[in-house]
Amino acid sequence: MDSFTSLVLEAESNFLQANPDEPAVPLEEPIRVALIDDGIDITRLKHKHNKEQSFCNRDGNVAPYYISSFGHGPAMASQIYRICPRAQLYVLKLDDHLHGGKRQIEPLSAAQAICEAVAKDVHIISMPWTIPRPDDSRTREILEAAISEARQKKILMFCSASDGGPIEDTGFPWAAAKSNIFRIGAATDKGMANPDVGTTEESDHKYLEVWTIFEEYISNMSHTTDEMIDQIANLGDELCRNI
């Protein structure tokens, strides 16, 4: 992934150097991504993020956004910047804790974070987790309303598939907007669904060997500007056709 990021930035730099008189085509606006997870580690993150907010409400143990609870958020932030180095990242920290040796997320904090992401007018909401369907009807309605608001704003939403095995997945946020959330499940190196992924609908997931596609393009990537731009465009096209 680091190689892919370098290629994208190198192609951009080469194009500007090779065409000094060509007016730059400015983006209408930068890509804004809300990362709703367990915080980040600002001492290790190479890129500057834009906004942050914590929704942790633990008495006597309130960790700020820049202290990750479990180390998952920093890994996700790094991956986001690797794919889109120019992204503006908004870090929204969930209220989470350990229970029975497993990470538990408070649904209301998830709803608050989603609402905050919508208020920030982001283009993408990354929710790399899944939680059980809230038993409390009021809590469930609040979370469903937050997800619905993001859907109505046409924000691209990504979440994780559950790891409960091949059973019907009723976890949130996916279950609240099945046709409007990209649900990402683990895959084997053969491009098959990981046995732990919680779904009984094979058609719901399309697994592909993403890294194999990246590796093939990177190993054959030209170093001339025009050819690099064409190859990167072709790479994006192939990935889209396989998703």
3-state secondary structure of 183: strand
Q: Phi and psi for 42 in degrees, rounded to 5?
A: -70, -15
Are the beta carbons of 9 and 85 closer than 8 angstroms?
Answer: yes
What pLDDT score does 207 carry? 46
User: Going residue by residue through the chain (243 aa), what tens digit of pLDDT does each one get?
Assistant: 556 566 666 666 666 666 666 665 565 678 899 999 887 766 666 555 555 555 555 545 555 555 666 677 888 888 888 888 778 889 898 988 877 777 889 999 999 999 999 999 999 999 999 999 999 999 999 999 999 999 999 999 999 887 765 566 788 999 999 889 988 877 666 666 666 665 545 444 444 445 555 556 556 655 554 555 555 555 555 555 544
What pLDDT score does 197 carry? 66
Q: Is the same domain home to 87 and 191?
A: yes
Per DSSP, helices labelled H in 98-224 are 107-119, 137-152, 210-219
User: Is residue 16 one of the residues assigned to a domain?
Assistant: no
What pLDDT score does 214 carry? 55
What pLDDT score does 121 carry? 94
Q: Is the same domain home to 195 and 232?
A: no
Sheet of 32-37, strand order: 51-54, 88-93, 32-37, 124-127, 156-160, 181-184
* CATH code, domain carrying 145: 3.40.50.200
The residue segments making up the domain with residue 105 are: 28-207
| Nearest residue to 39 via CA among 82, 1, 94 | 94
Contacts with 33 (C-beta within 8 Å, 6 or more apart), sequence order: 80, 84, 87, 88, 89, 90, 122, 123, 124, 125, 126
Q: Is the same domain home to 216 and 191?
A: no
What pLDDT score does 182 carry? 87
What pLDDT score does 31 carry? 87
3-state secondary structure of 124: strand
Q: Phi and psi for 54 in degrees, rounded to 5?
A: -110, 135
User: Is residue 218 one of the residues assigned to a domain?
Assistant: yes
